[in-house]
Amino acid sequence: MSDPAGGDGELIAASLEEPERFAALFDRHAPAIHQYVARRLGRDAADDVTAETFLTAFRIRARFDPARAGVRPWLYGIAAKQIGRHRRREVQALRLLARTGHDPVADSWTDSADDRLAAEAAARPLAGALARLSAGDRHVLLLFAWADLGYQEIAEALGIPVGTVRSRLNRARRKLRTAAGPAGAAGGALIEARIHEGDPV
């Protein structure tokens, strides 16, 4: 995916001489990063992890290589590393969702009680399966499903070959399909139908 108008890469380059220019990059991308982190760790952690992501990005901005990766994969890669530091919290939240069906993050997106009940019923087996995935497989799966990154972008974000992205995503999909059964095929609140699609266009 290309940089939006105004050029993210140009903003980073300009911020080396004028650090205040980096604020525009934050304004442009922080909401999406925050939403992604909130879906994985909950809203309590999302503010801190998003701030850590952009603070890290600011500190290492001189190392950003626009020829190698776009800004979105670069930022999601930094966010993934920050999320990795909270891995225990994420797994505990997924296990709680698998046991109880209660997802406070999803509650805030779902308007009616009926919709919440249906979403929780579908999410429980998926949450348990997600909790059992390795951290690497979970990163690939959720960057694809929730951050809407393509295979190449995920490879750039995580610093792994595209072939590894494909194998991890295929393995994670198989495990989720097995665990979720009809609920997983139907989608559910926790994992969107994108997980069950083929390769991105």
Model pLDDT for residues 138-150, shown as the tens digit of each residue = 899 999 998 999 9
For the chain, the maximum distance between any two Cα atoms, rounded to a whole number of angstroms, is 55
Kindly state whether residues 111 and 172 are assigned to the same domain: yes
Q: What is the mean pLDDT of residues 117-123?
A: 44
> Based on the structure, what is the number of domains in the chain?
2
77 within a domain of the structure (yes/no): yes
Average pLDDT of the chain is 78
Kindly state whether residues 103 and 152 are assigned to the same domain: yes
For residues 104 and 98, is the Cβ–Cβ distance under 8 A?
Answer: no
Kindly state whether residues 75 and 99 are assigned to the same domain: no
pLDDT, tens digit, 9 for 90 and up, residues 165-181: 999 999 998 888 876 66
Give the DSSP letter of residue 21. G
For residues 114 and 82, is the Cβ–Cβ distance under 8 A?
Answer: no
Tell me, what CATH number does 136's domain have? 1.10.10.10
Kindly state whether residues 185 and 107 are assigned to the same domain: yes
Kindly state whether residues 177 and 191 are assigned to the same domain: yes
pLDDT at 19: 96
For residues 155 and 162, is the Cβ–Cβ distance under 8 A?
Answer: yes
Question: What gap in Å lies between CA 16 and CA 24, rounded to an integer?
Answer: 13
Between the alpha carbon of residue 172 and those of residues 12, 100, 131, 132, 168, the distances in Å are 34, 23, 11, 10, 6
Domain boundary pick from 35, 68, 84:
84
Kindly state whether residues 133 and 190 are assigned to the same domain: yes
Handedness of CA 108, 43, 131, 175 (dihedral sign): positive
Kindly state whether residues 157 and 188 are assigned to the same domain: yes
Kindly state whether residues 160 and 178 are assigned to the same domain: yes
Residues constituting the chain: 201
Quote the tokens at residue 172: 């994670």
Question: What gap in Å lies between CA 136 and CA 184, rounded to an integer?
Answer: 21
Kindly state whether residues 169 and 128 are assigned to the same domain: yes
User: Among the listed ranges 39-43, 83-87, 126-130, 194-198, which one has the minimum average pLDDT value?
Assistant: 194-198
The pTM score is: 0.74
Kindly state whether residues 97 and 181 are assigned to the same domain: yes
Domain boundary pick from 84, 107, 133:
84
Provide the domain limits for residue 117. Answer: 87-196
Kindly state whether residues 188 and 97 are assigned to the same domain: yes
pLDDT at 200: 40
